[in-house]
Structure 1
Amino acid sequence: MARDDAGFIELDGVEKVFVVRRRAGLVRRERREVRAVDGISFKVPRGEMVGYIGPNGAGKSTTIKMLTGILVPSGGRLRVAGVDPSRERHRLARRIGVVFGQRTTLWWDLPLRDSYALVRRMYRVPERRFRENLDRCVELLDLEALLPVPVRQLSLGQRMRGDIAAALLHDPEVLYLDEPTIGLDVVSKAKVRGFLREINEELGTTVLLTTHDLTDIEQLCRRVMVIDHGRLVYDGGLDGLHAVGQSERTLVVDLERELPPIDVPGARTVRTEGPRQWLAFPADGSAAPIVAAVADRYPLVDLSVREPDIEDVIARMIQDRDSSGAVPDRR
């Protein structure tokens, strides 16, 4: 990997401080500084797909807004493809695509097809390349039936698919995604994940993904970064995150009748409710031997595996991290 590609996205001690003024009496106003991003440093190589996660208010969206040039950092150094986003925002705009979960970049009263035509003109995409990109997005994201529909009539899940397509029509080198599977059903989520995996592998698009859906991270990202209170508290693999956070998956078991708590190696029963029981086991372990043991020893009707809530994983990790504040790296 070339040296420039190794630091395709690079942050060095980046900070963002907001000044908040609030009433502190009848006349007097109190001035307070809120440090949304507090000295974050990391590098993302060209072509990598990275999960960027954390609790609400942790600083994820603020980071992405600085990466796109919408916000100017209060301190530190930031580069995307060798460009300072806040100083060369228009130049960078042609090289990035952005999807903010609850905010559409499409034109509300226009059919989806017309919104895409406007995107082509804005970015001056050659007609042939635009058609190739649009056909690819329409097929992989199942948008054909939605092209004549005004954006305001689309469901949240349909609009999200439409927004993802719009962000990729001009062949961006970097794609920032904020909750790209929000509002999608299981089938649509699978389509979006497959599409993102394909553009990353075939086109080498660098992807920074923020999400609360742990399955998005598991299926798309080898690397995950965790931010909390504006600070980077973890940078490494997903297995390492589970290990640091001591997270657990849950096996929900429905038995033929009510029985005492299930006792099998590798899991513990944490809850019972009639014939239904909940068993916890380490998230980085396999469910197969536990399922086999339950099926062998108990009158089983049905079962399902529930993934750990990403907020709980992060909360445990933050509680248990070293008081030194060092960033764990489990790559």
Structure 2
Amino acid sequence: MDLAIDAQHLTREFTVRRRGAGRSVVRAVDDLTLRLEHGEAVGFVGANGAGKSTTIKMLTGILTPTRGEVAVLGRRPVPERRHLAREIGVVFGQRSQLWWDLPLQDSFEILGSMHRLSPGAKAARLERLVAGLDLAPFLDRPVRQLSLGQRMRGEVAAALLHSPRLVVLDEPTIGLDMISKEGLRRFLVEDRAERGTTLLLTTHDMADVERLCERIVVVSDGRTAYDGTLAGLRSSLRTPRELVLDLAEPRDALVLPGGVELLAVEAGGIRHRVRFLAEEHSAAALIAAISAQVDIADLSMAEPAIEDLVREIFARGA
């Protein structure tokens, strides 16, 4: 099968010298397998030191694996790194690809020439990026004078300028306010839909994963702790859901099915909060059972936050 990323049994070890203790070997990535189909969007999530950055460096040809095989867009990242650079776009941590003392516009001109874009193609693509990422107010400003949020939007535009087939984004919304974050997420969704781009996203902002990705890979200690959908992650951990019910008339208590937990009765008996496992009770059946007793004026459902799910995976791994 032709895959955008096909990394199998990747291992990367480093030799570390410690004063008075000689040398020791640290394994940053340990037998990790990661496969992405073309057009897929995957959140690559883990705590600091979990092996995310090392994995990305092996995928982009910066590091050679100690063991394992990797192909990105059908190419071997290390020996074919220059060819691969024309087909991928990367925003990598705090490493900038913009020229610090030049206006942002000049960085785009230089990058367009480096990628050998025709004047027409460069102008059309840049117009789309400037509008989608709201770059116009600071295009003529030197990069060193930009705020962190403005520079991150510039970095994303620089990574997307040559319309890469694969985009790797490391913390793309860092430093952005809520409105700018939502604008960037919306643009990335639209751009992927138009171009069929493959996305690999690393972030500590779980809202990025929920908005941008169909699949999540959680890594811990250099190994895969989970690989699947967000819904599957919630199901596999058996984390409870919370149902909030506002009744038409106050009630001191409700008769709840077995396994359903009453969390609180509020507002003089109008609001009832209950918790249940989706594997044991469907929301529809639970609501029907309560509706048979009382009239429900309003209701809402709260899913477990993805941050809590990832934290639970790490806790179980520990």
Partners of 1:245 and 1:314 within 8 A in 2: no
The total of aligned residue pairs comes to 297
Offset, 1:308? 2.5
Correspondence for 1:327? none
Partners of 2:4 and 2:166 within 8 A in 1: no
Correspondence for 1:11? 7
2:180, 2:241 → 1: CA distance?
24
Q: Show the 5 A alignment for 1:123-134.
A: 123-134=115-126
Question: Equivalent of 2:176, from 166, 184, 192?
Answer: 184
Q: Show the 5 A alignment for 1:24-173.
A: 24=20, 29-173=21-165
Correspondence for 2:305? 308
Partners of 2:12 and 2:67 within 8 A in 1: yes
3-state DSSP class of the match of 2:75?
A: coil
Identify if the C-alpha distance between structure 1 residues 83 and 91 changes in structure 2 by more than 3 Å, giving closer, same or farther.
same
3-state DSSP class of the match of 2:22?
A: strand
Partners of 1:247 and 1:308 within 8 A in 2: no
Name the aligned partner's letter for residue 70 of structure 2.
Answer: L
Name the aligned partner's letter for residue 111 of structure 2.
Answer: V
Question: Equivalent of 2:313, from 307, 314, 317?
Answer: 317
Q: Which runs of 5+ in 2 are unaligned?
A: 245-251, 267-272
TM-score w.r.t. length of structure 2: 0.81
- The structure having more radius of gyration, on CA atoms, is 2
Offset, 1:44? 0.5
Correspondence for 1:236? 228
Name the aligned partner's letter for residue 7 of structure 2.
Answer: L
Partners of 1:244 and 1:317 within 8 A in 2: no
1:281, 1:190 → 2: CA distance?
32
Name the aligned partner's letter for residue 61 of structure 1.
Answer: S
Identify if the C-alpha distance between structure 1 residues 71 and 144 changes in structure 2 by more than 3 Å, giving closer, same or farther.
same
Identify if the C-alpha distance between structure 1 residues 247 and 65 changes in structure 2 by more than 3 Å, giving closer, same or farther.
farther
1:9, 1:116 → 2: CA distance?
27
Name the aligned partner's letter for residue 94 of structure 1.
Answer: R
Name the aligned partner's letter for residue 79 of structure 1.
Answer: A
Identify if the C-alpha distance between structure 1 residues 236 and 152 changes in structure 2 by more than 3 Å, giving closer, same or farther.
same
Identify if the C-alpha distance between structure 1 residues 21 and 264 changes in structure 2 by more than 3 Å, giving closer, same or farther.
farther
Identify if the C-alpha distance between structure 1 residues 243 and 146 changes in structure 2 by more than 3 Å, giving closer, same or farther.
same
- Mean Cα deviation higher: 101-110 or 140-149: 101-110
Partners of 1:112 and 1:162 within 8 A in 2: yes
TM-score w.r.t. length of structure 1: 0.78
1:112, 1:267 → 2: CA distance?
56
Q: Which runs of 5+ in 1 are unaligned?
A: 253-259, 273-277, 298-302, 324-331
Cα displacement string for residues 158-211 of structure 1 (whole angstroms, at most 9, x for unaligned residues): 111110000011111100001111111111111111111112111011100011
Identify if the C-alpha distance between structure 1 residues 249 and 147 changes in structure 2 by more than 3 Å, giving closer, same or farther.
farther
